[in-house]
Amino acid sequence: MWLFAGVVMALLTAELDQEDFLIGTLTGIAGLLCYATIIVLSGKRARLLQAVTALLGCGAVLSLLFVAGNVLLTPFLSDSISNLIMTLILLWTVPVEGHIISRTIERHWYVGVVIAMAVFVFQLMLYSVMDPATIAPT
């Protein structure tokens, strides 16, 4: 489902191409590996499959929501408003993933959000290293 959501996003978003899909998939896998490492190091290995499934499922739903919002809102709203809504959907992944991680490792919700923010920043940095055009001035 997660991979399907990525394919749909790449096909329906005009700004994305095959390279963006590949880099996005690789950064997503890197994020999952970070979460898996944290879960195992926290001694909650038995919950790993449940947590990864929840992360993938929520990621797929939020990705499809991103695509639906992009496809359905852009024709009716200005680009700046639709971009703001898409950015908010993207940023919503941080508290969602933070909640999943915090429940998995049995820590306070804020600990999960801090972990999710760190993974999010790591993924953005990894994406920019893999695709330098994202940080180049236009």
Tokens of 15: 């700004």
pTM equals 0.81
Residue of 91, 87, 70 whose CA lies nearest to 16:
70
The answer to whether residue 137 scores a pLDDT higher than 60 is: no
* Cβ–Cβ under 8 Å, residues 102 and 112: yes
The full set of domain ranges for the chain reads 19-131
Q: pLDDT tens for residues 35-91? A: 999 999 999 999 999 999 999 999 888 888 888 877 787 778 777 887 888 888 889
